[in-house]
């Protein structure tokens, strides 16, 4: 499994939900690392091992969406 960070690239309404340019979300997915152009933005995928090590190295008590986002942004520079 891998972790992804999705960044919305333009204002859009999907199923009644409004997303603004720059909105972000994290989640899990299958597949290896990569940057994927998606329909309404960009998805950055990072291996689970990298995110887990990032969390350990920072000695954070909680594993949160913010930790995942920081790890992914660091991975892709």
Handedness of CA 22, 25, 26, 32 (dihedral sign): negative
- Tens place of pLDDT per residue across the chain (77 aa): 999 999 999 999 999 999 999 999 999 999 999 999 998 999 999 999 999 999 989 887 788 999 999 999 999 98
What order do you get walking across the sheet with 34-38 strand by strand?
24-29, 2-8, 41-47, 34-38
- What is the rounded CA–CA span in Å between residue 20 and residue 58? 30
- What is the rounded CA–CA span in Å between residue 26 and residue 24? 7
């Amino acid at each position: 499994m891998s972790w992804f960070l999705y960044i919305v690239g333009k204002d859009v309404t999907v199923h009644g939900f409004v997303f603004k340019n720059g909105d972000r979300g994290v989640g899990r997915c299958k597949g290896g690392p990569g940057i994927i152009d998606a329909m309404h933005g960009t998805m950055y995928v990072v291996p689970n091992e990298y995110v887990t090590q990032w969390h350990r190295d920072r000695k954070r008590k909680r594993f949160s969406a913010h930790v995942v986002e920081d790890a992914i942004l660091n991975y892709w520079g």
